[in-house]
A and B are shown apart, each in its own frame.
Chain A
Amino acid sequence: MTVAFHESPVIYDAIIIGAGVMGATTALFLARAGLKVALVDRQDMFRAASGVNAGTLTLHMTRAQLIPHAIRGREMWLNSAEWLGEDVGALATPGLSMAFTEAEEDLLRQRASVRQNMGAPIEIISAEKAVSIEPGVNPRLRAAAYCALDGHIPTYRVGGAYARALKEAGITLIENAPVESISSVRGQGHEIRLTGHARAIHGRRVVLSTGAWLEKMLGWFGHDISIRCLINQLVVTETLPPVMGSVLSIANGLLSLKQFANGSVLIGGGWQGEGNIRDGGTRVIPENLQGNVRLAQHVVPRLNEAQILRVWLGLESETPDAMPLIGALTPDDDAFVVGCVHSGFTSGPYMGRLLAERILGADPDLSAFNPSRFSPSSATRAQL
């Protein structure tokens, strides 16, 4: 999509860089509050993590401290018709995390209790109970953690739904426009230069929501934060008769397994492939493909009837403490970041909305996500 520029340059109230779930949600709520908003992406919208992830709604795999956010994010997905304008097909299901060895059972109990304390309705159940809830699981399991609040989304329906909502909200979408530079204009916010665009665009505020590509841009604002790029492997099977009805994982969090309405089974869990932020995911590591799929087949033995249809790799960003970055980047309160949210698809819409509320003048508690926590010198500045 291209934009026709008028003679006098438009000054946006906010320019959001990075059109994934978080950036697009921030854009949406800012625009609905009356701000003039542009949303920019280096490629087409929703083509990175937000478009290729496993669509898991999970409290089992969310970081304990983010449980309250994940619960709110999950609610937003289930009610997407209300705030996004259309139902993206999110399905509420139970989630089972399983233990097959004594060590895994210890891990399961320990992790479940930490998450319980953060408000996740997780309980430890016996193997027999787990099999009665999910007859497809391997009966050799020792115990399972049960959570009523899990589910999944057919990820492919999300991008189009957001595109229509952004249009409806009057947001200017600028795709295939990598950001070359962001420079501060005194009292006027920022000037942003885009590859392939002769004229810069101007915004009173800028929001960085570029996921795995955040590190360099954070540096432009004096935040030296190393962003690790995970190359997550995903595997999908051809359609199968129903073999499971819940979201399945294992104690250490390295499996996500679900069956969609069309019968295909999606195997994820964050096993790593090769790649980088320049080329994307480039290559499956054969041992990791085998390990991930063996784990899935161990958990649901009937997957031995499945055919692997496709394997792909998606990028996920992670900060040094594996906690999100949400908040202001400058003392002038004119540059912000949202991203690096573990299990970010579950809580993504809520995180994006929180930042919009913060920009619009509310005071949500974002202290744990303050980007200045990694650089003591700028921490004092940002808090001014």
Chain B
Amino acid sequence: MSKPDRSPVTVIGGGVAGSTAAIALSRHGLPVTLIDEQPSAGGQIFRAPSSYARQTVPPNHEFSGGDALRQKLATSNVRVRLSTRVWGLSPSLTLDLLGPDGMDQIPPSTVVVANGATERFFPFQGWTTPRITGLAGASILMRNGGTLPGQSVVVAGSGPLLFSVAHQVLEMGGKVTAIIDSGNRADWTRLGAMLTLDSSRLTQAAAWMLRLRKAGIPVHHRSFLSAAEETETGLLLTVSDMDHPERHHFYTAEAAACGYGLKPSTLITRTAGVQHRYDSLGGYLEPVTDVAGRTSHPDLYVTGDAAGIRGMAVARLRGLVTAHAVAHDRGLIPAKAYASLTRTPLRHLRRLDAVSRRMLPLMNAGRTIGARLPDDTIVCRCERVKAGTLRTAIQSGAEDLNQLKAWTRCGMGPCQGRMCEDSARALLTTACNSTPEEAGSFTARIPFFPLPLTSVTGDFSYSDIPLPKAAPL
């Protein structure tokens, strides 16, 4: 064993995976900094509720689990930097931060990326109308803000979040007008059978389903939300059949929540230049990692859902295993100790991983929607690019996502393509009869989110500016 390396480790993201990893890393004696953009740690699932939500939302696992996690972090040696966002990084892993005290940098360190998932979305006619949210957004509004998106809500999209959000609406006394699922009913049944391997999830799913069935909520499988229009009585929502797009149902509701499963957040890993691959089951790009989160960059690890969507139980185990792997790679623990520390977590990880992968096709059930968007539907909200504009550019020879972006501005706006990339990819691969690998992915650019210009400039006088010598005349 070489000399132990006790240089600092930086963990990006204080959700289940990141917090677990940070605590375990500090127990290995490493100086750990945990960065999170929220005012408290917890990530999406364990997001700290507002005091209003604590009074109005019935007690639940997420509140208690999150409080326990935050308590553990508070008593650990982890240096937690909250309300702090990473806006850039260099190939040598210098991190650019914007925090409560302005700009800052962390010099090159071992970086554990645990920045979780992003919701996938497919647009529809009128999706930019007010009172239409993502499923994840609706969940945060209810769970952590204690507020319903509307008194009556159509819940649409795919994956388990559909039923979780519908259940939350009922729990808070709202009405679920309808549930629109792009997946097959039979897939859910098969998943139910698989869930016997994951009893906690099965119990929770069974409870949701029972309650939704009792409430008599109409559920449409193999269907999708195809249009929304604001009327005097609320949103008029059109539901279309995936296999027979001419067949419609109509609902009126105060609000709609729509989302098509999750995908790993890859802005940071793409910028770092690590190897990625397209997971066709999940329908998303993910960094290539081993079971412990090692990537093609020796000092960069990825853990939790950022390494591929597997859910909370896997995220916790991944966080733990990644921390032990960093300790082992640093020469802090020998191979034997590493094997004994990871034996049990890895066993659970393999079992749960298999179940979670079965969930991916259900989350990705909307994958064909992007390809058949009508020409006048806005795909990129930031730059107001319509499907027809994308098709024209593809016809002119834009055969990969970056050329499509360069010629149409699709994905150039503040969200960096988080909302439109999946639709653009579906349109492109269908029109060119190409693979997602051939279509590629949008090049990640800094800053990762819009930076106030004054946070870069600060206080200065003209004479402070180091003007380079004049350009040649």
Which chain A residues lie closer than 8 Å to B413 at the CB level? 309
Total interface residues on A, CB under 8 Å, equals 57
Which chain B residues lie closer than 8 Å to A311 at the CB level? 445-447
Q: Is B36 an interface residue (CB 8 A)?
A: no
Cβ of A105 to closest chain B Cβ, rounded Å: 13
Rounded to whole angstroms, the CA-CA distance of A295 and B403 in the bound complex is: 32
A291-B456 contact, Cβ under 8 Å, with A114-B473, A173-B397 = no
Q: Is B450 an interface residue (CB 8 A)?
A: yes
Pairwise interchain contact B90-A44, C-beta atoms closer than 8 A: no
Binds B, one of A30-38, A129-137, A158-166, A360-368: A158-166
Which secondary structure dominates where chain A touches chain B? mixed
Which chain B residues lie closer than 8 Å to A160 at the CB level? 392-393, 396, 398, 407-408
Q: Is B210 an interface residue (CB 8 A)?
A: no
Q: Looking at the complex, which one of A167, A291, A312 makes contact with B466 (CB distance below 8 Å)?
A: A291
Q: Looking at the complex, which one of A167, A283, A291, A308 makes contact with B467 (CB distance below 8 Å)?
A: A291
Pairwise interchain contact A294-B452, C-beta atoms closer than 8 A: no
Pairwise interchain contact A47-B457, C-beta atoms closer than 8 A: no
Contact mask B214-244 → A, CB, 8 Å, 1/0?
A: 0000000000000000000000000000000
Q: Looking at the complex, which one of B91, B383, B457, B466 makes contact with A282 (CB distance below 8 Å)?
A: B91
Q: Looking across the interface, which residue of chain B has its beta carbon closest to that of A310?
A: B445
Binds B, one of A145-153, A180-188, A296-304, A346-354: A296-304
* CB contacts between A and B, total, < 8 Å: 128
Pairwise interchain contact B465-A283, C-beta atoms closer than 8 A: no
Which chain A residues lie closer than 8 Å to B400 at the CB level? 44
Residues 302-321 of A at the B interface (beta carbon under 8 Å): 303-312
Cβ of A308 to closest chain B Cβ, rounded Å: 4
Q: Looking across the interface, which residue of chain A has its beta carbon closest to that of B407?
A: A160
Pairwise interchain contact A293-B471, C-beta atoms closer than 8 A: no
A47-B472 contact, Cβ under 8 Å, with A167-B397, A252-B467, A311-B445 = no
Residues 455-473 of B at the A interface (beta carbon under 8 Å): 456-458, 460, 462, 464-473
Q: Is B412 an interface residue (CB 8 A)?
A: yes
Cβ of B323 to closest chain A Cβ, rounded Å: 29
Q: Is B37 an interface residue (CB 8 A)?
A: no
Contact mask A222-252 → B, CB, 8 Å, 1/0?
A: 0000000000000001100000000000011
Pairwise interchain contact A159-B456, C-beta atoms closer than 8 A: no
Pairwise interchain contact B462-A307, C-beta atoms closer than 8 A: no
Cβ of B339 to closest chain A Cβ, rounded Å: 38
Pairwise interchain contact B447-A283, C-beta atoms closer than 8 A: no
Pairwise interchain contact A237-B467, C-beta atoms closer than 8 A: no
Pairwise interchain contact A163-B396, C-beta atoms closer than 8 A: yes
Which chain A residues lie closer than 8 Å to B454 at the CB level? 297, 304
Residues 358-398 of B at the A interface (beta carbon under 8 Å): 383, 392-393, 396-398
A51-B406 contact, Cβ under 8 Å, with A163-B397, A291-B467 = yes
Rounded to whole angstroms, the CA-CA distance of A111 and B90 in the bound complex is: 38
Rounded to whole angstroms, the CA-CA distance of A298 and B472 in the bound complex is: 23
Pairwise interchain contact A307-B465, C-beta atoms closer than 8 A: no
Pairwise interchain contact B467-A254, C-beta atoms closer than 8 A: yes
Q: Is B295 an interface residue (CB 8 A)?
A: no
Q: Looking across the interface, which residue of chain A has its beta carbon closest to that of B105?
A: A286
Pairwise interchain contact A156-B408, C-beta atoms closer than 8 A: yes
Rounded to whole angstroms, the CA-CA distance of A342 and B400 in the bound complex is: 30
Which chain A residues lie closer than 8 Å to B414 at the CB level? 238, 307, 309
Q: Is A289 an interface residue (CB 8 A)?
A: yes
Pairwise interchain contact B473-A294, C-beta atoms closer than 8 A: no
Which chain A residues lie closer than 8 Å to B465 at the CB level? 291, 294-295, 298
Q: Is B402 an interface residue (CB 8 A)?
A: yes
Pairwise interchain contact B464-A294, C-beta atoms closer than 8 A: yes
A64-B409 contact, Cβ under 8 Å, with A47-B403, A308-B451 = no
Which chain A residues lie closer than 8 Å to B393 at the CB level? 160
Which chain B residues lie closer than 8 Å to A322 at the CB level? 472
Which chain A residues lie closer than 8 Å to B452 at the CB level? 306-308
Q: Is B259 an interface residue (CB 8 A)?
A: no
Pairwise interchain contact B457-A294, C-beta atoms closer than 8 A: yes
Which chain B residues lie closer than 8 Å to A156 at the CB level? 406-409, 412
Pairwise interchain contact A47-B406, C-beta atoms closer than 8 A: yes
Which chain B residues lie closer than 8 Å to A164 at the CB level? 396
Pairwise interchain contact A252-B469, C-beta atoms closer than 8 A: yes
Q: Looking across the interface, which residue of chain B has its beta carbon closest to that of A295?
A: B465
Q: Is A284 an interface residue (CB 8 A)?
A: yes
Q: Is B287 an interface residue (CB 8 A)?
A: no
Pairwise interchain contact A290-B457, C-beta atoms closer than 8 A: yes
Q: Is A42 an interface residue (CB 8 A)?
A: no
Rounded to whole angstroms, the CA-CA distance of A251 and B400 in the bound complex is: 41
Pairwise interchain contact A307-B453, C-beta atoms closer than 8 A: yes
Rounded to whole angstroms, the CA-CA distance of A23 and B458 in the bound complex is: 43
Q: Looking at the complex, which one of A167, A252, A297, A308 makes contact with B471 (CB distance below 8 Å)?
A: A252
Q: Is A63 an interface residue (CB 8 A)?
A: yes
Pairwise interchain contact B447-A308, C-beta atoms closer than 8 A: yes
Cβ of B417 to closest chain A Cβ, rounded Å: 12
Residues of A in contact with B (beta carbons under 8 Å apart): 1, 44-47, 51, 61, 63-64, 100-101, 107, 111, 114, 156-157, 159-160, 163-164, 167, 173, 237-238, 251-254, 262, 270-272, 282-284, 286-287, 289-291, 293-295, 297-298, 303-312, 322, 342
Supply 28 A–B pairs (Cβ within 8 Å), ascending by A.
A44-B402, A47-B403, A61-B471, A63-B472, A100-B462, A156-B407, A160-B396, A160-B398, A163-B397, A163-B398, A163-B407, A238-B450, A252-B470, A253-B470, A254-B467, A286-B96, A287-B466, A291-B465, A293-B457, A294-B464, A294-B465, A295-B465, A297-B457, A304-B453, A307-B452, A308-B452, A310-B445, A311-B445
- Beyond the given A294-B460, A307-B451, A310-B447, could you list 12 further A-B residue pairs with CB under 8 A, ordered by the A residue number? A63-B472, A114-B473, A160-B407, A173-B397, A252-B469, A252-B471, A254-B471, A271-B468, A290-B458, A294-B457, A298-B462, A304-B457
